[in-house]
Amino acid sequence: MSRRRTSYLNSFRSTLWNLLRPKTLTASITPVLVGTGVALLHHPLRTSLFLSMLIASMLIQAAANMINEYYDFVRGLDSKEMTGIAGAIVRDNMSPRTVVLITWVTLAIAFLLGIYICASTSWWVAVFGAASMLFMYLYSGGPKPISATPLGEVTAGLAMGPVIILIAYFIQVGHLSTVAWWVSAPVGLLIGAILLANNLRDLEHDRPGGRKTLPILLGKARAITVLGAAFALSYLILIALVLTRMLPPWVLLSLLSIPLSSRVPRAFKAATTRDELQAAFENTSKTLIAFGFLLFIGLLIARFTTR
Q: Is residue 48 part of a domain?
A: yes
In total, how many domains does the chain have?
1
pLDDT of residue 200: 92
Q: Is residue 133 part of a domain?
A: yes
pLDDT of residue 19: 73
CA dihedral over 49, 241, 289, 300, signed as positive or negative? negative
pLDDT of residue 186: 95
Domain that holds residue 231: 26-305
Q: Which whole-number Å values give the CA distances from 25 to 7, 54, 201, in the listed order? A: 27, 11, 17
Q: Is residue 11 part of a domain?
A: no
- pTM, whole model, 2 decimals? 0.85
Q: Is residue 18 part of a domain?
A: no
Q: Is residue 6 part of a domain?
A: no
Parts of the chain with a pLDDT under 70: 1-17, 76-88, 90-93, 142, 209, 307
Q: Is residue 3 part of a domain?
A: no
Q: Which residues contact 122 (CB under 8 A, 6 or more apart)?
A: 170, 174
Q: How many CB atoms lie within 10 A of CB 147?
A: 23
**Domain with 258 in it: what CATH number?**
1.10.600
Burial of 243 (0-12, 13-18, 19+ CB in 10 A): exposed
Q: Is residue 74 part of a domain?
A: yes
